[in-house]
Amino acid sequence: MSERVIKDDQPRVYFDCNKCPAFCCSIYERVVVTKRDITRLAKHFGVSFEEARERYTADFEGERVLKRVKDKIFEKTCMFLDQKTRGCTIYHGRPAVCRSYPGRSRCAYYDVLRFERSSQGDESVIPLIKITFHEVEEETEEYADGPERVYEWDEK
Ligand code: SF4
Ligand code: SF4
């Protein structure tokens, strides 16, 4: 008997972007764009590199990022998200970082969505996740009963 070979070029994933309110397009303050991404955006909209850079990107702490707008669900979202369908309106022109996200078989935000919908018994509920990053310093303090690890950070 010959050995059966199962071929599957599509890696299995455990999330469905079509059933998600687009956390990844909304909760990060920065969706970084490279020069190549801006060139792709310029081509997508039929404008010059400079026009695309000016119209669709902004400076965020020294990095070039996609512009954001007020959102119906989260505080803000990417200017290219369709706020009704929660889909990307420039799918073929989207930046590389959007193409590769989340880069693994599970999406943590989709897992939270599924977990909360199941816990609340409500398939329409959306957990309002917010994510920020802080520089954290780890120190070891000496106390009478021994050393203890403490974390210190500045609120932004
Ligand atoms: S947060 Fe995850 S599941 Fe939702 S749209 Fe982004 S990648 Fe897809
Ligand atoms: S370009 Fe599209 S996929 Fe990328 S953050 Fe914006 S809406 Fe989401």
How far is the C-alpha of 123 from the C-alpha of 14, rounded, in Å?
Answer: 17
pLDDT tens for the chain, 156 residues long, are 445 555 556 678 999 999 999 999 999 999 999 999 999 999 999 999 999 999 999 999 999 999 999 999 999 999 999 999 999 999 999 999 999 999 999 999 999 999 999 999 999 999 999 998 888 888 888 888 888 888 887 665
Helix (H) / strand (E) element for 78: namely strand 76-78
Which amino acid is located at 156 in the chain? K
Residue identifier of the C-alpha nearest atom 2 of ligand 2? 88
Domain spans of the chain? 20-120
Rg over CA atoms, the chain: 21
How far is the C-alpha of 24 from the C-alpha of 71, rounded, in Å?
Answer: 13
Q: How far is the CA of 98 from the centre of ligand 1 (A)?
A: 10
Q: How far is the CA of 53 from the centre of ligand 1 (A)?
A: 26
Could you tell me the pTM of the whole model? 0.86
Q: How far is the CA of 145 from the centre of ligand 2 (A)?
A: 51
Report the DSSP pairing between strands 146-153 and 81-82.
unpaired
Q: How many CA atoms lie within 13 A of 33 on its CB side?
A: 25
Give the number of the atom of ligand 2 that is nearest the alpha carbon of residue 90: 2
